[in-house]
Structure formats: structure tokens, C-alpha cells
Structure 1
Amino acid sequence: MTNDIHFPKGFIDSLHNVPGFNAETFTTTHQNSNTPTSVRVNPYKPAPFNHTQPVPWCNSGLYLDSRPSFTFDPLFHAGCYYVQEASSMFIDHILRHVYNKDYGPVKVLDLCAAPGGKSTLISSALADEDLLVANEIIKTRVPILTDNLNRWGRTNVVVSNNDPKSFARLKGFFDIIVIDAPCSGSGMFRKDPAAMDEWSEGNVALCQQRQERILADVYPALTEDGYLIYSTCSYSYEEDEAVLDWLCEEFELETVQIPVQTEWGIIESQSATHKAWGYRFYPDKLKGEGLFAACLRKRENTGQLQSFRAKNSPKPNYKEIDLLKPYVNCSADLYFFKLNEDWLAINKHHRDSLETLQHFLYLKKSGVRLGKLAGKELIPDHELAICLMLNKDAFNQIELTYDQAIAYLRRDNIEDLNIDTKGWGLMCYQGYPLGWAKLLPNRINNYYPKEIRIMSQKQSQEPGTKSQDM
């Protein structure tokens, strides 16, 4: 199927001297409306997929033959996979090239994180002793970021809602900073033709200025010898290689060449002045949308923040903590803390880091929210149900059929569910937890969060029986 394509005025002309650009094949590809569908499997909650081929630059990435209705797949809601554009998975390849677990724990900042694709990708690569701070500048986008990271299930994650300049106070705090910078969006033209209405040469110039401001604001937070991973979904040289030259001119940064295989179809480029390496993705050369990515290493010391320990912090309530321990695995590795009436837990390696972040930033998520204690009983939070630290054996596990799982995710009544136990039930599909229900003698109370329930009433079939669009 082909469509007439009308690029914005001046767009094609602006790319004539950009590395790897071919106007004819580029235009032909955009006339083809069939964009590839790709997912990235959660290595800690692997979901089975049939009829797939791997994304070559990401071990957990898969191309699907057709686009199913992800909304009506309980395994999607359980966090077994993330629907992500294949080109953007290249950040995984960069991260695994520069990250070495043998060097000890690292702290990673994903600065422009919503909706969470790159954050869940980074989370998959990190060890429990590492820390991920996923920040979103726009307040209204924080909930979707938090929900996606909750589904992914890791305990070593903090979500914040701050302007990049707030991070300047965290001098030398992060070992790796990932910045998927706001851009003019030309790399998404095939996937989202409406993005063409926003493109102009003037907007490209404004985006470049904003990208440079963001980079300058956050730069002090990167430690000496730390890595800056920069990406955009723009083809414009001004937002890509020109920004690399600006970075090398303004700061003591050196380029990092990332190994790529020729058959991947990725175009290697170098900036005009400082010869900084960049990696360009074109949909006429590979199976993915437009992307630019690069990696630089900081070669100067711009200050180092000392760990911050809060003064007069309340003494831990060990009696209550002992009540929480049976509900989680590896409790000896966790730091338990209270926020208002809620108990939370994070890997104990991150206690000092968490208190530092709490002092300097506005945090929206810290580790995993376990729930509230009512006497000796835990009223469990949804985060606990879908996190990896959950001790499933501490709860009644209710295995749902496909139709029952969809009803649960809609907060509808669940038909033909025969329960002979009482208390909190962990509602599962194919063994993966979806959330909680309170089991009562004559009914169950559905505790799936209202704000993330399936709203559509579209009739669905179990994934694999028929391909559907979202």
C-alpha cells in the first residue's frame, strides 16, 4: 500500500549533505505505510512470541509479523514486554558497550524518560546494585513513566520530575547519563505523519538551542570518565553532529566509537570539526524509524558531591519491618522505609543515594511501594504485586483464564471464578501476577488500579487467535 507523501517545505533540501541520506529511496519508503512492529522482552518476565525475528542490535528485541492488540494482552499489563520502536533499542547496544559490571555499582540517569521505553531498556541491563534515576521534565507525563517502570518490576529505580538544571547540584553523581533530547521529530514522519505539520527550519534551530541548554544544565552531574549517551529522532545535522561538535568545543569530552556490523544498515558519521562518532538510522536502509545516537566520555572533574545523610531521620520500626519481610524475597538485601503510612523498599546499597536524591530532587517513585500495615496485616500496594521482589508464596495465587484476566483488567465482574479461600488474592495470568483482589465468602473485590484499567469495551480474542490493531 502506498500513499502520496508531501514533506514539509525545505525538508528534503535540508538533508542533501547529511551523511547517508538518499532522497529517492527515503521518499519511496515513506510512501509505504507499513511500519514494522517491534517489542522488547523483559528478561525477568519473559513472554513467548511466535513468528518473530530478532532486532540485530538488541538481544531482547523482536520484530513481529503482525501487530496484535497489545491492550488486550494480559502479559503486556504484567510487564512481560514493552512495545518499542526498533531503532531506539540501539541505546541498549551502546550501554552494553560502555557498561562493565566488574567496575562496581553505577548510577544512571535517563533525563528525558517518558513514556519509559529507554528507562525499561536501561533497567534490563543493570544489576541490582546499580541505580537508575528516570526523570521526566513534563509533569503530566510522569504517571505513564511510573506505570511502565512499575510493570517492569525492578527494585533499583527512582522516578523524578525535575528540570535539567536541578541536576547541576548533583555534581559528579552519575556514571552514565542518557539524554533522548526533545527534537524536531523528523525521524517519526513515517510512523506519525502528523509530525510533519510541526517541522520547519526555524523549529530545528530552536530545538538545537534547547538541546544545548539541556546538555549544559545536566553536564555537572556526570562524573569524570562517565559516559554521556545522546540521541534524537531527527535527521537534521544541526540537532545531531553539530550538537556533538558544540559539546566537544564547550566541554572536555571525547568521542566513543561504538562497534556496529555492516549488515545492520546503520550509517556511521563523524562531526565536521571534532570528528565525533554518530550513528544514523534511516527507514530505507534498515527495519526501523529515524534515529541519531552518539556516546561521549567526560575527561574532566567538575566537582564531586559528597553523600548526603538526612539529619534526625526517624529510627526504623523494626517490629513493623519484621512483619513486612515474609512478603518479599531477599529481605536482607533491602532497605525498608516509610512515607506517610506507606512502607517502601529499595536495595540497601541505594540508601545514601536515595537520601541524597530526596534532598535535591522532587521524587515520584522510590524503589517499590509495599503497602500499609493494618495491625499485623499488610494491605498490599499494586506495585508489590508486579515487582520482582514479591514472595508469591505468601499469598493465595489465583490463575485466571484469558477472559477472566481481561475482565479483571477492566475491573469488571469475573465470571466462573470458584474461590474457597479468603484474604488477599494475587491474580495471575500464565503464572505472571496482574494485581490484587480481596477474596470474600460470596464475592471478590477487584483492587486493580482504576487509573490504569482497560477502558475500551472492544471485544477481543486471546492473542494468537487473530491479529488485531490497537
Structure 2
Amino acid sequence: MSNFLPNSLIKRLSQNPTFDNDAFIAVHEDRSQITTIRINPFKPIELDFYLSEGVGWCDKGYYLPARPQFTLDPLFHAGAYYVQEASSMFIAHIIEELELNKEAIMAVDVCAAPGGKSTLLNSFLHEDSLLLSNEIIKSRSIVLQENLMRWGTANTVVSNNDPSAFNRLPGFFDLMLIDAPCSGSGMFRKDEDAIDEWSEGNVKLCSERQQRILSEALVSLKTNGYLIYSTCSYSEEENEMILDWLSDEFEMESVNVSLDPSWGIETTLSLRHQATGYRFYPHKVKGEGFFVAILKMKQVQPTFSLKKLKVEKSPVPKNALTSWVKDSDRFATLVHHDTIHISSKEHELAIKAFQQVLYLKNAGTAVGKWLGKELVPSHDLALSIHLSGEINAIELNLDLARDYLRKESIPLDVFDQVKKGWCIIKYKGLAIGWIKVLGNRINNYYPKEVRIANL
């Protein structure tokens, strides 16, 4: 037995005759850390650090030979990449196997913070899809909003709701991802605190919580829609037994995807219904502990109708965004929390439905506040891939870019080419925020809540 891993967990895992008990314990005692990132396809750029090899099941994921100080990298703040655990990136393979990237769909990430799986969905789904990213905990929803803002697209919505709110959107989504809160045993190698917090009692509580989340959220999945269910737990009560519970409570069909044997991912079956799941063990894959399964909703679901909704005329003047947003005619505008937002015209009714039944943190891209004759641009717009290329921009070197991210002053002579007004700050060609030139001084508009506190 291990000296620090819970003996009850090891005993349960050892009931599988093919489980390599010694290798599992050894990889945890080794305590080696694996660092992986996933690049943002909407912001292609050469990074400042070396990428050693690709993640086999995700063509945008890469292993790093060492962990850089991401906080000090302006490209991280620009949204060029997301630091994500490799096993979680397997969802990209699922999206491609199910061909959910072939046409526009409605998708929801029910337990989305901090945003790794939402930014992945946004990268791999069809570009005309709409993604609703939800987080029940308010403080975590703020982090989720920040990470999706860095990703830069206008086809995401962030909400802060209990999963029970989704029963007001019956049969709305083609795809539902639930990365369920769990007991966290899959994170033992990465996070030693998770070991101290683990208990069989907590496994039981998490299993019950997972069932509640699923039962409340699944009302909003369409007939023939897909559920991707995942945890970072090794416990059957949170994994295979949940698949059996889903098969009992709902008319759901297990879905398989192909695997490359070299990946080391283990296929598992639930006891009663033989539903397929995929287990990631750190002694077999180059990643942390993870479980994921795909099920298809076969029962006839009630359907939410968008036809009864009417879009109100936007209070934003027609040409107000022309100089700020690239191809602004392609977008619908709405005012939310006194801020102008843009989203695809095709998503206008869906976002209207979200507004009526959910508490939204953000919708599409927040452009800024309209003050009657002038727009005060938002940080969201600065990081958006839809920002107009006609706006004044200044490229900074690494030291000055870090000073800007610390919200420090930048020498005025850097902005000699900009006589007056709003200006985008860039590093290696990617925008990181706004400044405003005011003749004899400049104002740094980088948000204080996300600034680098220390170097």
C-alpha cells in the first residue's frame, strides 16, 4: 500500500485484475509535474517558449519541457494559449469523432469554470455555433468570463446560474458538457491538498451532487443531443455508476469513439448497462487522472420555441461601431448592464432567450459604453478577434509590455506616432489592452482586477 494515497481507494482500484497497483503508486510518489498548453486557433502566433511534443488526442495541445512563468508572459494575457491538463483535452477528439464541428450547433458547458473546456469547445466546434458557459459560483464565474474574453470570439455567453435554471430552456441544446464537481482523486499527483480532502464520504456526497446536476440540466438537451460527462475522479460511484444511473433515469444511449492504442487510455464498461467510459491513469497516459463518457439522448424531449421571441430595436446608432468593429454589419447589438455587446445575427434570438431565463455575466463581445457621442471601449473589445484593424496600435517590447500589464506608466515618447485618442497596446502583434493618449500624458486602461501584481 502507499504511504500517502488513501488505502481504501487503492484497495478499490486493485479489484480490477488488470490494474497495475505498483505503477500507479510509483507515478504518484515520483511527484513529477507535466505542463501542457492548448493554443488559440483564432490568434496564431509564435510563442516565446519551446513546445516539446504534441498531445496525441488534441492537435492544438502541446507538452512543455519546463513550466514557464505564465503570469509574466504577455501572450498568455493576450489569449494566445490556455494552460490545460492534457487528459481534459480528449474532449477535442470526441468533438471531431462525433463530427460536431461540421455544422453550427447550440452547446452548453454547465459547470464551466475556470474555462478550459469552454475555450476548447469554442476552438473545435463549428465557427457558427453558440456556446453558453455556465458557472454556479459567482467568484468562479468571474474567472470564467475573463478566460473566455481572452479567447476573443463573439459566439459565447457566460451565465451564473444553478443547473436547475436550465429546465426553463427545454430541448434547447445539441451538446451538453458536464464536467461534474467530484472528489478529485485524479488530481492527487498534481495537487497534494486533494489527498487530504478526499474521503469515501465525500465520494458519496459528490455522486449525489452529480445526479442532481444531471437530472436538472438534462431537460435542456435535445432529442438525439449528446451529453459529454466527465470527472477527475477514479471512483466508480462518480463514473460508471453514474452512467448506469443515467441509463435508468433517462433513455440514453452509450456512444463509443475510436482510440489510438499508443495513447494508453483505458476503455471501461458500467456494470449493469455496459455503457462505455474512458479512464486516464497517470501511469498509462501522459496526463492526470480523468474519466469521460458520451451518451445520446434518445427519449423525446420537450422543445423550446424561439418563434415566440421578438428582438427589440437596438438603441445603438447604426454607424456607432463602424470604426471599432471589423465588418460591424455582420453583428447584432444589444445593451446589457449598460454596455454594448455584439453577437452574430443568427444568435440574436437565442441570446434573447438566455436573457429572459438566466442571469448573464457576458453575452458575445462587450464593445464598450456609449456616451451619446463617444464610445468608451471595453477590455473585451481589445482582446476580440473582431476588433477593427484601423484603430491606432503601438507595439511594445517585453519589458514595456510587462510594465503595461502591471498598470504602470509607459514613456510618452513611445506614442509619438499617436497624436491623441484611443490606442491598442500590442505585443508580438497581439493586442493586450487599451491606452488613451491625452496630449502631454497617457492613461493606462488595463483592468486593475487582472493586472500583474508582482514581477
Note whether the superposition's TM-score is higher than 0.5.
Answer: yes
Q: 1:317 to 1:57 in 2, by over 3 A?
A: same
Contact 2:170/2:303 (<8 A) preserved: yes
Could you tell me how far 1:9 is from its partner in structure 2? 4.0
Contact 1:20/1:267 (<8 A) preserved: no
TM-score by length of 1: 0.93
- 1:147-205 deviation line (CA, Å, top 9, x unaligned): 00000001000000111111012110000000000011000000001101111111111
Q: Structure 1: which amino acid aligns with 2:221?
A: L
Equivalent pairs counted in the alignment come to 450
Is residue 93 of structure 2 the alignment partner of residue 93 of structure 1?
yes
Contact 1:5/1:27 (<8 A) preserved: no
Which of 396, 406, 423 is 2:392 aligned to?
396
Is residue 363 of structure 2 the alignment partner of residue 374 of structure 1?
no
SS of alignment partner, residue 158 of structure 1? strand
Question: What is aligned with 1:66?
Answer: 66
Once residues 412 and 347 of structure 2 are traced to their aligned partners in structure 1, the CA distance between those partners, rounded to angstroms, is 45
Contact 2:412/2:442 (<8 A) preserved: no
Is residue 443 of structure 2 the alignment partner of residue 428 of structure 1?
no
Is residue 383 of structure 2 the alignment partner of residue 386 of structure 1?
yes
Which of 444, 452, 461 is 2:442 aligned to?
444
The percentage of aligned residue pairs carrying the same residue is: 48
Q: 1:309 to 1:152 in 2, by over 3 A?
A: farther
Q: Structure 2: which amino acid aligns with 1:369?
A: A
Question: What is aligned with 1:286?
Answer: 285
Q: Structure 1: which amino acid aligns with 2:168?
A: R
Is residue 23 of structure 2 the alignment partner of residue 25 of structure 1?
yes
Is residue 412 of structure 2 the alignment partner of residue 413 of structure 1?
no
Is residue 135 of structure 2 the alignment partner of residue 136 of structure 1?
yes
- 1:383-438 deviation line (CA, Å, top 9, x unaligned): 00001111122x11010010000000000122474222211010000010000000
Moved more, 66-75 or 331-340: 331-340
Could you tell me how far 1:449 is from its partner in structure 2? 0.3
Once residues 343 and 322 of structure 2 are traced to their aligned partners in structure 1, the CA distance between those partners, rounded to angstroms, is 13
Once residues 140 and 442 of structure 1 are traced to their aligned partners in structure 2, the CA distance between those partners, rounded to angstroms, is 39
Is residue 331 of structure 2 the alignment partner of residue 323 of structure 1?
no
TM-score by length of 2: 0.96
Contact 1:309/1:356 (<8 A) preserved: no
Which of 45, 48, 54 is 1:47 aligned to?
45
Once residues 150 and 220 of structure 2 are traced to their aligned partners in structure 1, the CA distance between those partners, rounded to angstroms, is 28
Contact 1:177/1:228 (<8 A) preserved: yes
Once residues 227 and 191 of structure 2 are traced to their aligned partners in structure 1, the CA distance between those partners, rounded to angstroms, is 28
Where do residues 270-349 of structure 1 align in structure 2 (5 Å cutoff)? 270-307=269-306, 310=309, 314-317=312-315, 320-339=317-336, 341-349=338-346
Unaligned runs of 5+ residues in structure 1 are 459-470
Once residues 367 and 134 of structure 2 are traced to their aligned partners in structure 1, the CA distance between those partners, rounded to angstroms, is 22
Where do residues 184-195 of structure 1 align in structure 2 (5 Å cutoff)? 184-195=183-194
Q: 1:240 to 1:405 in 2, by over 3 A?
A: same
CA RMSD of aligned residues (A): 1.6
Contact 1:107/1:173 (<8 A) preserved: yes
Q: Would you identify which runs of 4 or more consecutive aligned residues in structure 1 move more than 4 Å?
A: 308-311
Contact 1:256/1:297 (<8 A) preserved: yes
Moved more, 431-440 or 48-57: 48-57
SS of alignment partner, residue 337 of structure 1? strand
Moved more, 399-408 or 334-343: 334-343
Unaligned runs of 5+ residues in structure 2 are none
SS of alignment partner, residue 92 of structure 2? helix
Question: What is aligned with 2:253?
Answer: 254
SS of alignment partner, residue 133 of structure 2? strand
